[in-house]
Every structure is written in structure tokens, then in C-alpha cells.
Amino acid sequence: IMVLTDPEFESSVLISSDEGASYQKYRLSFYVLSLLFHPAQEDWALAYSHDQKLYSSVDFGRKWQLIHEHVTPNRFYWSVSGLDKEPDLVHMEAHTPDGNVQYVTCRAQMCTEAIRNYPFPGYVDISSLVVQDDYIFIQVPTSGRATYYVSYKREPFIQTKLPKYSLPKDLHIVSTDEKQVFAAVQEWNQNDTYNLYLSDTRGIYFTLAMENVKTTRGIGGNQMLDLYEVAGIKGMLIANKRQDNQVKTYITYNKGRDWRLLHAPAADLDGNDIHCILPFCSLHLQLQMSENPYLSGTISTRSSAPGIIVATGNIGAELSYNNVGMFMSSDAGNSWRQIFEEEHNVWFLDKGGALVAVKQPSVPTRHLWISFDEGRQWNQYSFSSVPLFVDGVLVEAGAENQIMTFFGHFSHRSEWQLIKIDYKAIYSRKCTEEDYQTWHLHNQGEPCVMGQKQIYMKRRPGSCCMLGRDYSRILSAESCICRAHDFECDYGYERRADGNCRPAFWFNPSTVSRSCSQGQNYFNSTGYRKVVLNNCTKGVKEMYTARKQQCPNRPPKGLLLTTKDGKLTANLGSNVTFLVHLDEGDSLHTNIRLDFGDGTAVSYSNLSWTEEGIRHVYKQSCPLAFSQLNGKLSCCPGITAPVCLLGPVEHVQLLTPFVVIRNKEVNITAMILPSHSRTVTYFWWLGNSTEPLITLDGSVSYTFPTEGLHTVTVQVAAANTILQDTKTIAVKEFFKSLLLSFSPNLDEFNPDIPEWRQDVGRVIKKVTDFPEEQLLVAVFPGLPTAAELFLLPHKNQSEGKKKSEEELEQVSDIIISALNQNLVEFELKPGIRVIVYNTQLTLAPLVDANPRHSSSAMLMLLSVVFLGLAVFLIYKFKRRNGPCDSLHRTATPPSPHSSTSTGGALI
């Protein structure tokens, strides 16, 4: 026994080795806030102190050793048997001296800085480390969004994949104990509900299991998810879902692949018929776990009594906390009956052979109720001569010692009372073979649950006998032939109204093959994956299972050219050392041609020997050009520019028109955050120029001389970093444009980020059924959602400009007619159909047209105003840095990875 003293008086621990007959006091040099004992070694413990220090003891608290200072509260874990090599390994989240947070591991008694390990390379978000079963989770801030990483069985961390636009505000790991991860995610547009996601076995790819699961705020202010995993039957869950301003209870037998409402009892306690017809009326259950571990809570199941569920609930159109009663199922939720009209706490005795019920502790009682036939009949017994407020019940485990201990108080001023009950006497004998019966698990008559026909051995209701030690619950489990309901939609796919899984609007299945290396294999998904732990065989398994295919030939990924000293300027005649980087796995399969831009070019078939770099001496001033994958990396030796910053630039956004007229001057603007006064140098790459235009102003004017798609890139030199943004502009002789609006349901799913606007624009292009090269769609920031559709002339202009203009007019009329008849629509997600409307027809800005404010220019101006307001609000109270130092910065060629933009998305 270990007892901690009150820290207000002294910091000590009292230890007894003789069941409390005597105690030895040991002084502590710290105040203990929490203790964590090792799951296997009973003398090993971790202690967390009031000053955020973590200590370890291997002799049951007699001696303590400091492990680490500045550890996050409740973010330390003992090793997991079978996964961690050392049984005394400690996982923890620790703070660095500069205020960052890292994931650290070390041994409990040997944790010096020299032998600490850092499994994740980089900093993590505070209070994000979770070590549970086969998984380790951490969270990292990326571009203002939370990004989650998982390590499965101590393998390297991999970024988890939620559906693209889940955009979590909050994420909790619900469970990890069935070879997959349940995660509750509160998304950007949710307040009091969470979405439930299920992962694959490795915990990487998550798919939606249920939307809008209700939460309940506990006494301590914590939000608890209304989700309950039924003990004893794998894959069975009950959840409360908010739908159309109502909360209803649903049940699943295949881990969230399918859900249905609960059938209400056919009759009430008095035998009167209950007319409750699905889906208008059903049974609803309260799913809160008790914050008092000695009370049963509103729902109870036990793995030792499979199929028995006892819960508080109501019958009606939705979940209610008024006029509630107690309900029970003996067949795993297929049928229900009412057992009490008032709320009770219910405990399982002798592996479900008997049930004990006591009224809620709000009123004192002298009686308890016992049932031997799974709640059909109840017998009343007195357990106290004086009514007792029951604060809790302890039920002793084991087959030989059947003891129940009631504890409570006679009044609010009295001391606690303990009443021990030996319920062994209620059983007259031990159970024999005649006292058992078989029970087939099923779902509304369907015998295959999680791919198996499962037969259980249960005690016959009413048999007043005690189970023996050799009692076995599962009699047999026979695999079923695989059918469609054994498979859920794979990552990136959604179940449509016809029951088939099809790609979500944001998912391109072909991108999976592009992410693997040449010479390797990948699994080409069919759109389905088998429910984890489902045991079905044959049938449609081969048709639905992903197929192994060889990775297609593709250019290398992660191609990057740098210099050894980090600069891309050089003096004539000096030796320049270049470093070529490729993602691991690509370097052995790639031929690279390096063009130095001065007439010298070298080809390499194997980059493994180039770790020391590639040396070259420039004898004449010229731009450096490096071409691969149609990409270009270029710079001008000798270009430097003064940069004077009052604080770091954190973001750059390029604002450009989407479509412009050839030979007509346009303004291009770069917005930087924060925007308070500073001297900044801008490097502009316009058209096909390899040399940048350098300005101290964030705006330039430019005239595009040729038609086509032109890339504009701006770089901003900022302290020790360079920020970049890139936009594509379509240059044409003339064009037509239409302003588009959408049915209001689209706004509910608009997170107002560039990627979403790009994907929606791609969907609009697809449903308009117009040649792709002649159509551009720009979805604008903000709400309500609006877009501009650009109709471009055909590339072949040999037939004359006038005829092309006439063709555009005809196509415009056709599209307008379809829009006005509500013929243009798309399915954003299952059950969410969005109609596209024509808002306004704008005049075609021709080469000889008078200057006018086009719709795209006006919306761009509005986005500038909006962005400026956001800058003011975000950075108004930020403190500026110290005095401006004299700095020099070299221009760096455009990188293929540009910064995130909040402007309109051009498709």
C-alpha cells in the first residue's frame, strides 16, 4: 500500500508491505501531482511533480530519480510490452529551453541528455503525444493547420490521411484496441458534435464512419463523445447522432459500415402495446459513462455476458432526458424490453448470471433488486435497516469470492458507511450442462456478423446456479462467404445512393500510383477495403481487394538543386559546388542532365557518388539554368539586393487577374504578412524570363506579348528565408465570362481555402461538358460561394477572329440556357447535390474595347480589401522586432513548392 501525505503539511510517502499493519515514511524532495505505475512491474512507478518534473522509482517509491525537467502534464507513458525493446523505457513530451516541445524517449533510471532519443525529427504541438497499444500519435502545426503523424509498431512516423476537407479543430483517439484506430474529429464547421473516423490497420488512412456524433459535457467541463463500444462482441457500437436538430440513437454490427435505429419494445411494463414505428419513432439511449467508477453509468455491458445490454433511455422521435426509463436487451440490441420506470444503477454478478439494481443515489434506499432471468423478473431484498445514499458499489471479481460492498452515507452530515454482502448464498448449486443454452449472434436475422456465424453458450434464464471456472462463452465461430456489407469504402471514396463506393470530388485515384518509386509495387484500390477484423472468406473478396501493380515509369520526385554554401551567386572564376538532392529511392533509377548555362552540360546516371557535390567554374557572367520535369531553376550570378526588415515576413500572396488580354498592361500585386512598415526586396519572374525583375515595391505592371498560359512568380527576401508564391495567368486575344452562384447548401461545406476552391472549380469544369482547353473556372474567396467561368477561344485562330467570337457567343448562350434550367449540378458528397446558377453575363473584354472594371478585377480588389482587414486584425497587437540591421540577400530561383495562397483558385 502507498499513501501520499497532504502536501500542505509535508511531502512524504507512506509505504506498507504488510497489508496496512505498519507503515514506513519516506521524505520526498518534490510534491507529487500524479502517479503512473508500470503495467507489468508492480514496484516501478513514475511520479509527476508540481514543477513539471518527472521522476522514476523501481522500489515502490522508496527512492526516486529525476528523468526529465519540463514535461507536459499527463503526457508520459511506460513502455508497451512486445513493442519497446526495454521494459523500463519511458515515452514523454518534454519542453526545450526555448519553449518548443519534443517527443523524447529514454530509460527510467538512465535518462541523461547524451542517451535520450528523439523518435520524431522536429517539434510537436503541446499535449499531442499519445502512446497507446500499437500506435504513437503526435501533432505538428503546418501552414496554420494541425497535421497528425502516427507510428505503427514503432515504425517511422507517417502523416495520417483524413479526408481532404475534414480540417480538424480538435482530434481525440477514442480507441486503438482492435487493430485499428477510432478517432473523433471536430471539424472546422462543428461546435457540439464530432465526426467518427476509422483507420486502416496501420492507423494512416481514415474513412468516415458516422457524422455529427453528439457530445455531452461532463461535471469537470470535459466533452464526452456519445459513443459506446459494446463489450464482448467485436464490431458492435452504439452512437447518438445529431440529425435535422434531433438526436437519435443508432447501432452498428460491422464497425460503422452500416448503422440503423433501435427497435422500441413492443409493450410497456404493464403489458400495454407501444405503437412505435420506424423511422418516425424508435428507442434512444443515454450513452454517458459514469464519472464515478463505482456507479454503472447510463449504459452497461460486460465481455463475460455477451449480448446483454442495460441502458437508460426513452421511446420517441428523438433522445430525451425527460420521462426516461431503464431498458434491456438480451440479444445484442435486436430486441428490447423495459425493466424499470425510473433510473437505476445496474451491476453484473457471476458473469451475468444475476443482475443487481439500485436506484440512483439522489434518494436514499434500503432495497436492492436482483434478477436471475436477464431482467424479466426482479426480486426485492433489504440490505440496510436505515435508508442509505448509495455512493457506489464494489463487485469483487473471481469465481470463489462473491462479495459486493456498498458504500454511502445515511445523511449529508454522516460519515461513510460500508455494507458487505456475500451473494454466494443466493446460488443453491453450481451449473451443470442442463443449465446452458446456445445463442446465435445476429443482426435482424442476418447470422453473419463481422464475417462469422458466432454461437455463444449462455446460462438459461432462471437457472439459479453458479458458473464454474471452466465456463467458455463462445461455442463456435464459422467464417462466412464475403459479401458487399463486409467491405467499407476505401480512403478517398464515398458511398453513393446506389450503395457503390465512388471517388470523392477531391480525390484523384491516379495520384496513388504517382506517389511510388519506379521498380516498386503499389496496391491499386478498387474503392473498397475489408472491415478490420472481419473474418469472411472467398465470395467477393478477390473482386473488392486492392490489386498489386507495378509502379509506372515517372520522373523523379523531390528534385532540388542547391549550392554547398547556400548561395546562388558567384564571382567570375570562382569554384562553385552544386548539390543535387532526390527523394530516397529515386536516385538509383534516375538520369539527370545538369546544364550550367555557359555552354557546359553534364549528364549523370547515378547520383550516389555526388554527395561531395559537383564543381564548376564560371568564366563568363550568365544565368544558371537547370531543367528537369519541365521545371526550371535559374539565377543570375552577381545579383544582390539590400533587405531591411523590422520583423519576419510570414506569408506572401500573389494577386493577379485570371485571364488577361494580350498586349494589354495589367497590374500584379504581392501582399505580405505582416504588413507593417519595412523595406522589402521583391524578385519577379514574368513571362518566360530567366532573369528576375527586382523592385522595392510590391506591385508591378506588365504586358504579355503572346497568348497561352503564363506563370508569374514572386519571391520576397525575408531575414534568413525566402518566401514565394506562383500564379498562372491565361493570356488571350478575347474571351467571355459568366458569373456563377450556387445553391446555399454549398456554403455549409466551404472552408474557404485555396485547395477547396480548386477542387470545386475542377468539378464545375467537368459538369459543364465543354472542351477543357477552352474553359477556366475561378472560385472566389469568401461567402456566399461565387465563381467566374471564362470561355476562351479555340487555339486555332486561322478561321478569323470574328468567327471565333461568334462561336463563343453561341457556346455562351448554350451554357446560360443550361444554367437557367438548373441543368448544371454536381454531387459534392453523398446526398449533397449542388445546383449551379448564372448570376450575370459580363461583356467580352476585346482588344479594342473601352477600359472597364471586369468582374474578376472587382473581385480581386475585394479580396485585397478583405486580406488587408485580416492583416490588421491578426497583427495589430504583435510587437515589432528590434532595430533594422543592414542585410544583403541574393535572389533564389523559383521553387516548385510555392507558399499557400488565399486568393481565388484558377482551374
The residue length of the chain stands at 907
Residue type, 769: D
Helix, strand or coil, per DSSP, at residue 474 = strand
Nearest to 483 by CA among 523, 450, 455: 450
Cell of 22: 505498519
DSSP 8-state assignment for residue 267: B
Is pLDDT above 50 for 764? yes
pLDDT of residue 605: 57
pLDDT of residue 892: 42
pLDDT of residue 396: 66
> Cβ-count burial of 709 within 10 angstroms (0-12 exposed, 13-18 middle, 19+ buried)?
exposed
Long-range contacts of 293-300 (CB under 8 A, 24+ apart): 293/392, 294/391, 294/392, 294/393, 294/394, 294/407, 295/345, 295/361, 295/391, 295/392, 295/393, 296/345, 296/346, 296/347, 298/343, 299/228, 299/238, 300/346, 300/347, 300/348
Q: Assess whether the previous peptide bond of 279 is cis (omega < 30° from 0).
A: yes
Averaging pLDDT over each range in 439-453, 463-477, 794-808, which range is the top one?
439-453
Phi/psi of residue 280, nearest 5 degrees: -75, -25
Q: Higher confidence at residue 906 or residue 186?
A: 186
> Cβ-count burial of 853 within 10 angstroms (0-12 exposed, 13-18 middle, 19+ buried)?
exposed
CA dist 92 and 56 (Å) reads 13
Domain residue extents for the chain? 1-159, 430-479, 484-550, 557-643, 651-732, 736-842
pLDDT of residue 20: 84
Q: What percentage of the chain carries pLDDT values higher than 70?
A: 78
CA–CA distances in Å: residue 81 to residues 40, 78, 93: 9, 9, 20
Is pLDDT above 90 for 840? no
CATH architecture of 484-550: 2-Layer Sandwich (3.30)
pTM of the model: 0.79
Least confident of 396-410, 460-474, 545-559, 621-635: 621-635
DSSP 8-state assignment for residue 157: P
Confidence of residue 513 (pLDDT cuts 50, 70, 90): low
Q: Kindly report the three-state secondary structure assignment for every residue of 605-629.
A: CCCCCHHHCEEEECCCCCCEEEEEC
For the beta carbon of residue 330, count every other beta carbon within 10 angstroms: 21
CA dist 270 and 493 (Å) reads 49
The contacts of residue 259 (CB under 8 Å, 6+ apart) are 210, 239, 241, 250, 251, 252
Return the ∠ at Cα 559 (arms to 556 and 564), rounded to 5°. 145
Nearest to 590 by CA among 604, 609, 611: 604
The DSSP line for 531-545 is PTT---BSTTHHHHS
Q: Assess whether the previous peptide bond of 642 is cis (omega < 30° from 0).
A: no
Please compute the mean of the pLDDT values over residues 192-220 and round it to a whole number.
91
CATH architecture of 557-643: Sandwich (2.60)
The contacts of residue 330 (CB under 8 Å, 6+ apart) are 307, 308, 374, 375, 461
Averaging pLDDT over each range in 463-477, 766-780, 866-880, which range is the top one?
766-780
Q: How many CA atoms lie within 13 A of 701 on its CB side?
A: 4
Please compute the mean of the pLDDT values over residues 161-187 and round it to a whole number.
92
Helix, strand or coil, per DSSP, at residue 777 = strand
CA dist 262 and 241 (Å) reads 13
Nearest to 765 by CA among 858, 831, 846, 836: 836
Q: Are 704 and 729 a contacting pair, CB within 8 Å?
A: yes
CA dist 420 and 396 (Å) reads 11
Nearest to 262 by CA among 274, 278, 246, 247: 278
Is pLDDT above 90 for 852? no
Is pLDDT above 80 for 759? yes
Q: Higher confidence at residue 701 or residue 808?
A: 701
CA dist 31 and 24 (Å) reads 18
Least confident of 318-327, 377-386, 840-849: 840-849
CATH architecture of 430-479: Ribbon (2.10)
Nearest to 634 by CA among 369, 901, 891, 366: 891
Region of residue 495 (left: phi > 0; alpha: psi -120 to 50; beta: else)? beta
Which option is the CATH number for 651-732: 3.20.20.70, 3.30.750.24, 2.60.40.10, 3.30.420.40?
2.60.40.10
Q: Are 210 and 196 a contacting pair, CB within 8 Å?
A: yes
Residue type, 130: V
Q: Are 65 and 78 a contacting pair, CB within 8 Å?
A: no
The DSSP line for 161-222 is B--TT--EEEEEEEE-TTSS-EEEEEETT-SSEEEEEEE-TTS-BEEEEEEEEEEEE-TTS-
The chain-wide mean pLDDT, for the chain, equals 81
Strand partners, 160: none
CA dist 528 and 655 (Å) reads 41
Q: At which residue does the C-alpha cell 547520383 appear?
A: 607
CA dist 774 and 533 (Å) reads 49
Cell of 418: 460500508
Is pLDDT above 60 for 28? yes
Phi/psi of residue 772, nearest 5 degrees: -60, -35
Handedness of CA 591, 597, 599, 600 (dihedral sign): negative
CA dist 257 and 534 (Å) reads 11
Least confident of 82-96, 164-178, 841-855: 841-855
Segment 686-730, tens digit of pLDDT: 877 777 888 888 899 999 988 888 889 888 875 556 778 888 888
Phi/psi of residue 79, nearest 5 degrees: -60, 155
Q: At which residue does the C-alpha cell 440556357 appear?
A: 817
CA dist 784 and 683 (Å) reads 35
What's the distance, CA 498 to chain centroid?
27
Tell me, yes or no, if the two domains 430-479 and 484-550 fold the same way. no
DSSP 8-state assignment for residue 666: E
What's the distance, CA 537 to chain centroid?
31
Cell of 711: 506563370
Nearest to 733 by CA among 660, 788, 841: 660
What is the end-to-end Cα distance of the chain in Å, rounded? 69
Cell of 461: 434464464
Is pLDDT above 80 for 859? no
Q: Higher confidence at residue 831 or residue 283?
A: 283
Confidence of residue 673 (pLDDT cuts 50, 70, 90): confident
pLDDT of residue 274: 93
Segment 536-575, tens digit of pLDDT: 999 999 999 998 888 876 655 555 666 666 555 566 677 7
